[in-house]
Chains A and B, each alone.
Chain A
Amino acid sequence: EVKLMQSGGVVVQPGGSLRLSCAASGFTFDDYAMHWVRQAPGKGLEWVSLINWNGANTYYGDSVKGRFTVSRDNSKNSLYLNMNSLRPEDTALYYCAKLAGHDGIDIWGQGTMVTVSS
């Protein structure tokens, strides 16, 4: 079964740091670029980051650039999102997602809820 399994939800204080993880199974992980997408409570989808198949190229949305870092370990079939200088407005459900090239995002993780609050 093709699956993306994400780490559990967490509460962190403003200014804090966090690392999200996403474990892939059922497909050849290093064949695909991967997105991180978030959704604040009651709000729409927001693109966070994209990493290419080997991690050499990374891209970020304006709201997280300079604070978040995406990485991957293809030997462990895993994707990561390091989040620093967290703000209350970063509170959201974070999805990892498999980009099947021009065929779009075909697989989504179950999401990790991140709450930034004192």
Chain B
Amino acid sequence: SYEMTQPPSVSVSPGQTARITCSGDAVPKQFSFWYQQRPGQAPLLVIYKDSQRPSGIPERFSGSSSGTTVTLTISGVQAEDEADYYCHSADSSGTYWVFGGGTKLTVL
């Protein structure tokens, strides 16, 4: 099996920058993805291929990768960004997929 590790929670004040990390041994070999999930809703893709932003996702969302860690950065956090965020990727063979445990972003 394979695991990706995220912090359980991150808290920031409105207007500040939130950074959510996700670590996994296969990060250098596989693209990672980030999903936002608000209560009662299906997940929404906010970053693909480590750092690409889908159309319709605000520019304040960005992604980066370094070594075995990928990072989701939300600049100028707004109240509406309060949600759970999940990283998603595969092991080095590309056949076993995992989600990170999820990070609850709280906007103070």
A residues touching B (Cβ–Cβ < 8 Å)? 35, 37, 44-47, 50, 59, 61-62, 95, 102-106, 108-111
Contact = CB atoms under 8 A, between A and B. Distances in A.
B48 A104 contact: yes
Contact of A50 (B42, B86, B97, B102): B97
Contacts, number: 55
Contact of A44 (B42, B86, B96): B86
Contacts of B83: none
Contact of A95 (B42, B54, B95): B42
Q: DSSP majority for the A interface? A: strand
A103 B102 contact: no
A87 to B, nearest CB: 18
B82 interface: no
Interface string B20-58: 000000000001010101000011010011001010000
A102 B48 contact: yes
14 contacts: A37-B99, A44-B101, A44-B102, A45-B102, A47-B88, A47-B98, A62-B1, A102-B31, A103-B48, A103-B49, A105-B43, A106-B45, A109-B42, A111-B42
